[in-house]
Amino acid sequence: MDERLQWISQAARAARRAGWVLGQISGPERRQILLAMADALERPDVRASVLRANAADVAQAELARDRGEIAQALIDRLVLDERKLAGVVDGLRQLASQPDPLGRVSIDRELDDGLGLRRVACPLGVVAVVFEARPDAVVQIAGLAVRSGNAVVLKGGREAANSNAVLVEVLRRALADQGFDPGALVLLEDRADVDALLTLDRDIDLVVARGSSGFVRHVQQASKIPVLAHAEGICHQFLHASADPEMAARVAVDAKCGYPAACNAIETLLWMPGAELALDRCVTQLGQAGVEIRACEATRARHPTLVAAAQTDFGHEFGALVIAVRRVDNLVAALEHIEQHGSRHTESIIAQDETAAAEFLARVDAACVFHNASTRFADGYRFGLGAEVGVSTSKLHARGPVGAEGLITYRWLLRGTGQVAGDYGPGKRRFRHRDR
């Protein structure tokens, strides 16, 4: 084992020991850690140091962008300002106010006299999260780990190295100040550390992979560790024939322009015959907001000044003020388009027809499906989860914005009075199986 892999393995094992303590302490004690983290991030000197570090990261990223090495969308995700800092602090306080997810009993079953079975929530153990840009994710993930009693190993992108280092140091200090081992929060810095991390199937219980579909596939193929995938967000807004034009435009502008680099921003606008007025209003307001609209021929027949869309524009994550627009024949055709081109992240329908909306919500295969609302609501903070480790496009364990409850599992606890399994079965003693 080379020295770097050995160090990572040792850090993961030390994190497991430190995380075990977090999983054993009371909910109020973990709550106090979260409040201490929030208090630390509100100190003026701490905020100033975080913003300085982020400004250095952004400056380096802008030079890389000018050399053609990275896209502007990555820089948009990288920027950490006072508003984002306030948001993550509020998220920590929101997490602190939530009920303790650990120790919850989801099954309490009497198997027989003096033989009781319970299913009880417990931490996963050590969670590794690999992500790019988004230094605010450091605080969100660390907060969720503390709330759920897990240790966490973080690997952020090199473009956010300064920001991540300062934030992790602040959070580790808050842990230490509360009397707990800061080793529960580990930051990896080298790109090669990712592949080393993925070999530690005895030390890491879950990997959360946030990034492109190619990166997520690499993580899944390179590791035996279970992977929770936060892949690209190719989100659609579908204008049904019954769509209210003003509502459609207002929602479209928010979903595209509120934060174009976010994974929950819409990349494609679909419309059907009968929705022409809603389309017109969307085109006007998106254009006024500075969005480049790439349209199919049917759309350009109505709006000839729009740029012609290429086939590759559909199913593409622009991450910028660019949107593809296509006419579909009906609701079924919209569903087929989404099935072919979507990433199973978030999809939305704008419709006054409740029957059509119900069919859309029932049939779309995505983690989040919305009616008359912006896809930008697909977010752990907005869902009241406090934060998220990612938006899972997987279907096992957790789906959609993953909060603290997505980082717990459970144990079956059986208490008896000397019973043996051989006493039960056909012609023998019968199980009671009565839920209490």
Q: Which domain holds residue 45?
A: 3-231+393-412
Mean pLDDT across the chain: 94
Q: Domains in the chain: how many in total?
A: 2
Q: Are residues 226 and 246 in the same domain?
A: no
Q: Are residues 275 and 155 in the same domain?
A: no
Residue 427 lies in a domain: no
Tens-digit pLDDT profile for residues 9-51: 999 999 999 999 999 999 999 999 999 999 999 999 999 999 9
Q: Annotate the chain with three-state secondary structure.
A: CCHHHHHHHHHHHHHHHHHHHHHHCCHHHHHHHHHHHHHHHHCHHHHHHHHHHHHHHHHHHHHHHHCCCCCHHHHHHHCCCHHHHHHHHHHHHHHHHCCCCCCCEEEEEEEECCEEEEEEEEECCEEEEECCCCCHHHHHHHHHHHHCCCEEEEECCHHHHHHHHHHHHHHHHHHHHCCCCHHHEEEECCCCHHHHHCCCCCCCCEEEEECCHHHHHHHHHHCCCCEEEECCCCEEEEECCCCCHHHHHHHHHHHHHCCCCCCCCEEEEEECCCCHHHHHHHHHHHHHCCCEEEECHHHHHHCCCCEECCHHHCCCCCCCCEEEEEECCCHHHHHHHHHHHCCCCEEEEECCCHHHHHHHHHHCCCCEEEECCCHHHCCCCCCCCCCCCCEECCCCCCCEECCHHHHEEEEEEEECCCCCHHHECCCCECCCCEEC
Tens-digit pLDDT profile for residues 263-293: 999 999 999 999 999 999 999 999 999 999 9
Residue 422 lies in a domain: no
Mean pLDDT calculated for residue range 107-118: 97
Contact criterion met (CB below 8 Å) for 224 and 306: no
CA separation for the pair 402, 410 (Å, rounded): 17
Q: Percentage of the chain with pLDDT > 90?
A: 82
Contact criterion met (CB below 8 Å) for 4 and 173: no
Q: Are residues 183 and 318 in the same domain?
A: no
Residue 359 lies in a domain: yes
Confidence of residue 219 (pLDDT cuts 50, 70, 90): confident
- Whether 320 has a pLDDT exceeding 60, the answer reads yes
Q: Are residues 148 and 249 in the same domain?
A: no
Look up the CATH number of the domain holding residue 351.
3.40.309.10
pLDDT of residue 157: 87
Residue 80 lies in a domain: yes
Q: Are residues 178 and 210 in the same domain?
A: yes
From the list 23, 37, 24, the residue with the least C-alpha distance to 150 is: 23
Tens-digit pLDDT profile for residues 354-380: 999 999 999 999 999 999 999 999 998
CA separation for the pair 241, 219 (Å, rounded): 42
pLDDT of residue 1: 54
Residue 385 lies in a domain: no
pLDDT of residue 396: 77
Q: Are residues 397 and 370 in the same domain?
A: no
Give CA torsion, residues 200, 205, 208, 209, to 10 deg.
30
Q: Are residues 51 and 195 in the same domain?
A: yes
The amino acid that residue 286 corresponds to is: L
Q: Are residues 179 and 267 in the same domain?
A: no
Residue 433 lies in a domain: no
- Whether 71 has a pLDDT exceeding 80, the answer reads yes
Q: Are residues 342 and 399 in the same domain?
A: no
Look up the CATH number of the domain holding residue 53.
3.40.605.10
Instruction: List 307's β-bridge partners, or say none.
Output: 294
Residue 252 lies in a domain: yes
CA separation for the pair 237, 246 (Å, rounded): 14
pLDDT of residue 96: 96
Q: Are residues 227 and 282 in the same domain?
A: no
pTM, two decimals, is 0.85
Q: Are residues 165 and 239 in the same domain?
A: no
Residue 31 lies in a domain: yes
Q: Are residues 9 and 48 in the same domain?
A: yes
